[in-house]
Structure 1
Amino acid sequence: MTHETGRLYGLGIGPGDPELLTLKAYRILRSVPVIAYPTMENGKVLARAIVADFLRPEQIEVPMPLPFSPVRSSQPYYDIAAEKLAEHLSAGRDVAVLCEGEPFLYGSFMYLFNRLSSKFQTEVVPGISSTMASAAALGVPLTYRNDVLSIMPATLEADILRDRLAVADAAVIIKLGRHFSKVRDVLSELGLLSRSLYIERATMPNQRIVPIADIDAADVPYWALIMIPSLQTSVT
């Protein structure tokens, strides 16, 4: 008899509010025997915290430490995590990897998908991204009619950000953190500050919406973004 392997799930769990978990993600989360999630080296575990009330005591939990460092590669850590998950999958146990927001939009699950999807049955469950949740929280439509939306990480070099923002109908700049000052300078150069909206930790209990002029760059978290909505205000 051929031994049946487990199924790997990339579970999009949304931006932070547990009520934004999809019904499908909830069903899988409750049914799988193994739950895996990234952890920071300081011990913080955001993904698990979002769904903590839905987990069952008998589920096996697999923390996956990641450096989240601009100077250290995460790839060796993903190699180790993939090996751990492969052991469970090879033993026939389904594994759900928790991923904040949307797994295939800058999601950490992508790197596990690249390592494991060719060896094990894999299913990706979409989640609500922080970009879309932020638009709702800010109360601003992002795009109208033929507008093109650009999503870009704040980690880009200033000249690249400047070139792309200069031609964007609407834009979202993510992963602000220590790059906030650089981004604010670029927005000021392009005359975009008046259109720009700042939000951090969208949909979480500690969500903050603050005018960009009042932001202390030293206090900006990684989970912050700037939204530049379309200039259009109506559709005819």
Structure 2
Amino acid sequence: MKRGILYGVGVGPGDPELLTLKAVRILREANVVAMPDKGSGEQTARKIVQAYIEGKELLSCPTPMVRDKEVLAQSYEANADTLCALLDQGKNVAFITLGDPSVYSTYLYIHERVAERGYEARLIPGVPSFCAVAARLGISLCQGEERLLIVPASHSVEDCVDFPANQIYMKAGRRLGGLLETLEQHGRLEGAMAVSNCGMEEEQVWPRAADMDPESRYFSVLFAPGKDRD
């Protein structure tokens, strides 16, 4: 039996209208739609694609929100086992992931394991959250000779904050308050802007990031312009 193909499908930041035509086609043609399960009960990615997966076989893949590398590795291996079993049955699987699968995506760790086992695995790009945020704010992320630095704010940002570039901070979560304090201490909060839950019902736009509620949800993206930008 011919093996199936695994597709890592980027579904964008939240607005279903930002799904690409290719993503929609893959979702419609797939035999199984897989999705991450962080254990919180949230299924944001599923909500985005709901109109295209009615009647599909669905698979929840546990992806715990921990930093223990051994626990994570075991989870990725177990998910790869499950996906490969489906591929061995000749089923094509679309694994949905927020934003773009190449940008801070948990899915990539599973994708790599499946590909290393000799299975065909393809990435379907999606609209990254920071591009959607820039569009919502009506700004450019970089132009001319400007550089752009993308930072996972769930980790330390001290070695990034003074880098001479326009800066994107993603995944701040519970560290948002500390991030805002650090940016202010380094003179980077002035002119910074942000959007929480971009494209979702709970969307909040912050023309001044300094006004953000530190309790804003996990899906917050902050843009801090370079010090030389007018």
**Above 0.5 in TM-score?**
yes
Segment drifting more, 63-72 vs 18-27: 63-72
Tell me whether 67-76 or 224-233 shows the greater mean CA deviation.
Answer: 67-76
Residues 104-115 of structure 1: pairs in structure 2 closer than 5 A: 104-115=102-113
Whether the 8 Å contact between 1:30 and 1:56 is mirrored in structure 2 is no
* Aligned mates of 1:48, 1:78 — CA distance in 2: 20
In the TM superposition, residue 190 of structure 1 has moved relative to its aligned partner by 1.1
Q: CA deviation at 1:71?
A: 5.7
Q: What is the CA RMSD across the aligned residues, in angstroms? A: 1.6
* 2:169 aligned residue: 173
- C-alpha spacing 1:70/1:112, structure 2 compared with 1 (3 Å): closer
What is the aligned partner in structure 2 of residue 131 from structure 1? 130
**Matched position secondary structure for 2:87:** helix
Any conservation in 2 of the 1:39–1:46 contact (CA below 8 Å)?
no
1:142: how far off? Answer: 1.2
Whether the aligned pair in 2 keeps the contact of 1:41 and 1:67 (CA below 8 Å) is yes
Q: What code does the residue aligned with 2:132 have?
A: A
Distance between the aligned counterparts of 1:165 and 1:213, measured in 2? 16
Structure 2 gaps of 5+ residues are none
Write the mapping of 1:19-98 to structure 2, written as runs, cut at 5 A. Answer: 19-57=17-55, 59-70=56-67, 73-98=71-96
1:191 aligns with 2:190: no
After TM superposition, the score normalised by the length of structure 1 is 0.90
CA deviation vs aligned residue, 1:205-236 (integer Å, no higher than 9, x gap)? 2110133333332x221111211134435xxx
Deviation at 1:96, TM superposition (A): 0.6
Cα distance in 1 for partners of 2:129, 2:24 equals 18
Structure 1: runs of 5 or more not aligned: none
SS at match of 2:160: helix
The answer to whether structure 1 residue 216 and structure 2 residue 216 are counterparts is no
TM-fit CA distance, 1:70: 4.5
Q: Work out the CA distance in 2 between the residues paired with 1:168 and 1:131.
A: 19
Letter in 2 for 1:128: V
SS in 2 for 1:114: helix
